[in-house]
């Protein structure tokens, strides 16, 4: 099935980004697979983000002196100790996990000073593509994928594409979002490299986990001449559909998993669009002998997660929430857990939130603790996928619905898409 409404605001975003072209690719090293305990350190290192600029000091997560990309198995319990050697406070956000209130930043886990260690225990009940993001308080802190593999992999290959954006000064120094970029240039990296390529064999099936780790920028991606079957969005299985013309649109922080069945020999460019023109960030080359005599049949849906098949909206608690960056929205650094929540809801009750972007420019909204459905305009249905991140154009109102299954105090984030925009937070309560 081809879902013409894939991702909210698709048409508006595509119109703003221009004609799409390609999406980056390449595999992170499979580090710490099968590990249940890991000690990570956030450190500053120098790397070349653009060929004609000096090396840039950037932060990353290391374990035993090696760059850490986390790949674990569903059903494990992941115990991780995070120690920051950076000068700023650290707050670790596990994007995509529902119901883990013991690891919720700010409301439960307090920010840690430089040199302090944050211990997190994460039961990996759900397979999917997640993000360990330290940038809630410090825009230059590390971010890394956290991949939880299915107990029975459905593809021959499994690769991650992490896309980040940078604002670099002529000396190579990266500046943090929320500050004026002035003379900085915009640079995109794919898995922390300027360009990454991937080789497949004919009739090989690839799972490509695409993560928009850009802090402010929605991006368009296109992989030429290949069929992209969307299998999961924002860490949750979706009803499979083919991305129209090989195009994807991802809000900042969004994740989309696609299956690609390699045809006969050829090369497909990977292009990123951000509204300033196409940027080639890699390619997929299909070469060599066929992996199997014929292509595999179309993939069926991934195993369903814990989320309900239906949400009863008839008796839902209805909430109106303005995304305007004004009080009581506050900067994450000013957050206090004893502040009044934006709303309170009883556990087990459905919530319908009318989100209104009061600004003239797009705003990204993220809900912690629960995934939500994007409702149709008449409340007579919803899109066939779950989200935790939503992009709203200027002046737009969208309605979302979720079942409040998980008790606790949960954050909500609201951020404009301009580099100078600040991040704001509030919280909600489920009891």
HEC-encoded secondary structure of 217-241: CCEEEEECCCCCEEEEECCEEEEEE
Q: What pLDDT, on a 0 to 100 scale, did the predictor assign at position 69?
A: 75
Q: Where are the beta strands (DSSP E) in 234-383?
A: 236-242, 247-250, 255-261, 266-273, 278-286, 317-323, 344-345, 350-357, 363-367, 373-374
| Torsion from C-alpha of 29, 217, 336, 90, nearest 10 degrees | 30
Cis peptide before 414 (omega within 30 of 0): no
Adjacent-strand bridge partners of 387: 372
Nearest-angstrom CA–CA distance, 84 and 88:
8
DSSP, collapsed to helix, strand or coil, labels residue 370 as coil
Task: Give the residue from 360, 288, 366, 284 showing the smallest Cα distance to 321.
Answer: 366
**Residue written as token pair 């995934």:** 371
What DSSP element (H or E) covers 14?
A: helix 10-17
Give Dmax over CA atoms of the chain in angstroms. 63
**Radius of gyration of the CA atoms of the chain, in A:** 21
Instruction: Show the CA angle centred on residue 372, arms to residues 138 and 250, nearest 5°.
Output: 55
Please give the C-alpha separations between residue 312 and each of 140, 304, 346, 352, 401, in angstroms, as whole numbers: 42, 19, 14, 10, 10
Taking Cα atoms as reference points, which of 217, 242, 243 lies closest to residue 16? 217
Q: In sequence order, which residues have a C-beta less than 8 Å from that of residue 234 and are 6 or more positions away?
A: 96, 254, 255, 371, 385, 386, 387, 388, 389
Helix %, strand %, coil % for the chain, to 5?
Answer: 5, 45, 50
DSSP conformation class of 246: G
DSSP 45: E
- Return the H-helix or E-strand segment holding 148: strand 143-149
pLDDT, residue 379, reads 67
pLDDT per position in the chain (431 positions), as tens? Answer: 334 333 443 443 433 333 322 222 233 333 344 448 999 999 999 999 998 999 999 999 998 878 887 999 999 999 999 999 999 999 999 999 999 999 999 999 999 999 999 999 999 999 999 999 999 999 999 999 999 998 888 999 999 999 999 999 999 999 999 999 989 999 999 999 988 899 999 999 999 999 999 999 999 999 999 999 999 999 999 999 999 988 999 999 999 999 999 998 999 999 999 999 899 999 999 999 999 999 999 999 999 888 998 999 999 999 999 999 999 999 999 999 889 999 999 999 999 999 999 999 999 999 999 999 999 977 678 999 999 999 999 999 999 999 999 999 999 999 999 999 999 999 999 99
* CA 123 distance to own-chain centroid: 20
Rounded Cα–Cα distance for residues 157 and 209 (Å): 11
Strand partners, 306: none
pLDDT of 25 reads 27
Q: Angle CA(156)–CA(162)–CA(166) in degrees, nearest 5? A: 160
Cα 49 from Cα 54, distance rounded (Å): 8
Superfamily of chain region 10-286: Cupredoxins -  blue copper proteins (2.60.40.420)
DSSP state of 354: E
Q: How far lies 381's CA from each of 240, 312, 341, in Å? A: 18, 11, 28
pLDDT score at 31: 37
* CATH 2.60.40.420 boundaries in the chain: 10-286, 317-430
CA separation for the pair 365, 160 (Å, rounded): 24
* DSSP 3-state of 392: strand
Q: Can you name the residues that pair with 351 across neighbouring β-strands?
A: 317, 402
Output the pTM of the full model.
Answer: 0.91
Give pLDDT, residue 304.
86
Confidence at residue 94, expressed as pLDDT on a 0 to 100 scale: 96
Domain 317-430, CATH class in plain words: mainly beta
Instruction: Determine if residue 417 is left, alpha or beta; phi over 0 gives left, psi from -120 to 50 gives alpha, anything else beta.
Output: alpha
Q: What are phi and psi of 398, to 5 degrees?
A: -125, 150
Tell me the C-alpha distance between 266 and 274, whole Å.
26
């Amino acid at each position: 099935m081809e879902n013409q409404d894939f991702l909210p605001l698709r048409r508006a975003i595509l119109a703003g980004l221009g004609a799409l072209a390609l999406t980056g690719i390449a595999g992170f090293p499979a580090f710490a697979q099968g590990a249940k305990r890991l000690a990570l350190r956030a450190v500053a290192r120098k790397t070349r983000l653009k060929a004609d600029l000096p090396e840039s000091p950037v932060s990353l997560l290391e374990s035993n002196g090696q760059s850490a990309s986390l790949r674990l198995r569903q059903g494990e319990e992941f115990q991780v100790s995070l120690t920051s050697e950076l000068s700023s406070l650290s707050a670790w956000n596990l994007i995509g996990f529902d119901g883990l209130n013991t690891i919720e930043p700010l409301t439960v886990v307090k920010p840690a000073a430089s040199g302090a260690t944050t211990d997190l225990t994460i039961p990996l009940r759900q397979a999917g593509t997640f993000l360990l993001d330290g940038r809630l308080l410090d825009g230059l802190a590390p971010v890394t994928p956290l991949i939880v593999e299915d107990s029975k992999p459905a593809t021959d290959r499994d690769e991650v594409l992490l896309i980040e954006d940078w604002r670099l000064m002529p000396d190579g120094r990266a500046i943090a979002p929320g500050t004026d970029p002035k003379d900085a240039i915009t640079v995109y990296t794919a898995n922390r490299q300027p360009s990454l390529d991937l080789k497949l064999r004919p009739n090989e099936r690839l799972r490509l986990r695409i993560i928009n780790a850009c802090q402010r920028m929605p991006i368009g991606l296109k992989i030429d001449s290949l069929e992209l079957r969307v299998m999961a969005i924002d860490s949750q299985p979706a009803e499979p559909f083919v991305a129209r013309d090989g195009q994807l649109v991802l809000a900042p922080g969004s994740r989309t998993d696609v299956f690609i069945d390699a045809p006969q020999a050829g090369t497909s460019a990977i292009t990123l669009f951000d509204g300033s023109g196409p940027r080639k960030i890699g390619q997929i080359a299909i070469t060599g002998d066929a992996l199997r005599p014929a292509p595999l049949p179309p993939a069926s849906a991934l195993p369903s997660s814990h989320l309900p098949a239906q949400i009863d909206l008839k008796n839902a608690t209805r909430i109106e929430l303005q995304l305007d960056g004004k009080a009581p929205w506050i900067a994450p650094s000013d957050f206090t857990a004893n502040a009044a929540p934006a709303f309170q809801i009883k556990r087990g009750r459905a919530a319908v939130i009318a989100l209104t972007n009061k600004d003239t420019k797009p705003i990204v909204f993220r809900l912690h603790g629960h995934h939500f459905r994007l409702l149709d305009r008449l409340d007579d249905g919803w899109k066939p996928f779950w989200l935790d991140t939503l992009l709203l154009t200027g002046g737009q109102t969208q309605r979302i619905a979720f079942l409040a299954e998980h008790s606790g105090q949960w954050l909500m984030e609201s951020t404009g898409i301009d580099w100078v925009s600040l991040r704001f937070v509030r919280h909600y309560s489920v009891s």
